[in-house]
Amino acid sequence: MLYHFLHILGIISRIVNQYFEQMGIVRMNWAARSRDLSPIKHLKIAKLQQPPATFPEPTLTLTQVLEEADQKE
């Protein structure tokens, strides 16, 4: 039974690939277990990372780091 199912999937895959070639659709090779196949997970992570409330905050932090580096030298 499983062999028959896998055989059918192979036939369908060949038909779809032939159709893509006829239509000029380029296929991309993609890893079966790629992390990029779960974009929802990436959105959740991005949502948890809050951006700074104001723009001066990163500027002040960078200025402080540069001043500390100058003092160490």
What residue spans define the domains of the chain?
A: 1-28
Looking at the chain, the number of H-run helices and the number of E-run strands are: 3, 0
- pLDDT digit string, tens, across residues 15-56: 999 999 999 998 877 666 666 666 667 667 777 777 666 666
Q: Are 19 and 12 in contact (CB under 8 A)?
A: no
Q: Rounded CA gap, 62 and 52, in Å? A: 13
pLDDT band for position 61 (50/70/90)? confident
